[in-house]
Structure 1
Amino acid sequence: MIDPKHSVSARRLDRLGPTFTAAQARERGIGSNALARLREAELIWELSRGVYRKSNSPLTMHIDLLAACIRVPHGVICLETALAVHDLTDEIPGEVNLAVPRGGPLPRITYPLVRIHRFAGATFEKGIEHWEAAAGEPVRIYSASRTVVDCMRLRHIVGDQVALRALRSYLRRRGTSPSDLLQYAELLGGAGPLRNAIQVVLD
């Protein structure tokens, strides 16, 4: 026999999106005890602390990115993680790289593995795009051109080889232009070194 409380919670669950937070569940009348029962019934999975996903939701290869972005809604996917999304690297990042504005609180996430980077607030919103980590579930990510520039100016973090391979891959794509990169470099800093690197790659 189906537990009436379980049945009510399951019906309320239908009002939530595929991935949701405990706070959103409470707004729909699903408290912590009900969430625990839904987990036991394998109707939902806990992706990260306070972040859940319905078990009948479409599969995605990017569940860690989705969970991290929900935990840090003001964050933006950046650096190696963004390179992987934009298919500009063969490396498989072992953690999710997220940028947050400098000066704000530092998010603390134990799972999934997340590395937080503080970016300047004045230029933080430049180059942000929306990308679907799962069907109908967009997250914020820096554009391919901004990501390449960020990796070049932060080579001490991502490594010279990763940054230069990303630059080479970007410039080989149809429809890309060095001027797109240099515009971001002028804005973010490091236009001189980037101009030199572009010259080396194109020669």
Structure 2
Amino acid sequence: MSGAAPLSPEAIFRANGGQLRMGEALAAGISRYQLYQLRDKGLIEAISRGLYRLSDLPPISNPDLVAVASRYPKAVLCLVSALAWHGITTQIPHQVHIAVARQARLPEMDYPPVQGYRFSAAAFEKGIENHSVDDTPIRIYSPEKTLADCFKFRNKIGMEVALEALQLYRERFKTKPAIILQYAKLCRVEQIMRPYLEAGL
């Protein structure tokens, strides 16, 4: 008896949630020629360099985050991008801000533009929330961890951004000063943050 017929390239995409990176497609048995055929026929579309999805899927709500999370699954959304996710900034991120471990290479993408930051092991691993955007897993720092990170990187993103985020956090979340201070200690900004926290208690 002969075995089951191999899946078509389109069926392989559907079996993998409709989205594949180039390397995943090749490993699944789709040749580069077949991949480009699918693209040229309009059956798949390139979300970003090396990332493809079926064209008939519902539109992606946040293609930039999906592209970055798919390319760098271990990275964590941080700073202004995390503030925007949590709704505690009026800034519009012009880059996707992501954190990587200190020994990791800084991320590079043609599109969307990314800004990478190296975090120490302890600071990188703490305060991560797991979310999903269009069925793509994405790691994001919690509001409290993000506030501490913003004070730590205040010279890069601006102290006014950090202070605005703290104010909006107080208005929109149940404030957790003890948890914020734990992250402030971790990020070595406790002495800087404490006066602003105590002023709002």
Fold in common (TM above 0.5)? yes
Cα pair distance change 1:165/1:189, threshold 3 Å? same
* 1:197 Cα deviation after fit: 1.7
Percent identity of the aligned residues? 38
Report 1:68-87 matches (<5 A): 68-87=68-87
Find the aligned partners of 2:60 and 2:46 in 1 and give their Cα distance. 15
SS in 2 for 1:182: helix
Secondary structure of the corresponding residue to residue 124 of structure 1? helix
Counterpart Cα distance in 1 of 2:56 and 2:138: 21
1:146 matches 2:145: yes
Call closer, same or farther: CA 1:12–1:173 in 2, change over 3 Å: closer
CA distance in 2, matches of 1:23, 1:9: 14
Q: Is this contact kept in 2: 1:15–1:28, CA < 8 A?
A: no
Which runs of 5 or more structure 2 residues have no equivalent in the other structure?
1-6
Aligned to 1:3: none
Matched residue, 1:9: 9
- In structure 1, what is the Cα distance between the partners aligned to 2:8 and 2:132? 31
Q: Distance in 2 between matches of 1:145 and 1:27?
A: 40
How big is the shift at 1:174?
4.2
**Structure 1 segments (4+ residues) deviating >4 Å:** none
Give distance in 1, aligned partners of 2:61 and 2:80.
16
* 2:189 aligned with 1:194: no
In 2, the alpha carbon distance for the partners of 1:78 and 1:193 equals: 20
Which aligned pairs between 1:50-199 and structure 2 lie closer than 5 A?
A: 50-134=50-134, 136-199=135-198
Alpha-carbon shift at residue 113 of structure 1 (Å): 0.5
Once residues 91 and 23 of structure 2 are traced to their aligned partners in structure 1, the CA distance between those partners, rounded to angstroms, is 35
Residues of 2 paired with 1:68 and 1:105: CA distance? Answer: 15
Residues 19-65 of structure 1 deviation map (CA, whole Å, 9 limit, x = unaligned): 32111112221111111111111121112221112212232331111
Unaligned runs of 5+ in 1: 1-6
TM-score under structure 1 length normalisation: 0.89
Report the TM-score when normalising by structure 2: 0.90
Q: In structure 1, how many angstroms separate the alpha carbons of the residues matched to 2:145 and 2:57? A: 32
The count of aligned residue pairs is 195
| Partner secondary structure for residue 152 of structure 1 | helix
**AA of the residue aligned to 2:149:** D
Q: What root-mean-square deviation, in Å, do the aligned CA atoms of Structure 1 and Structure 2 show?
A: 1.7
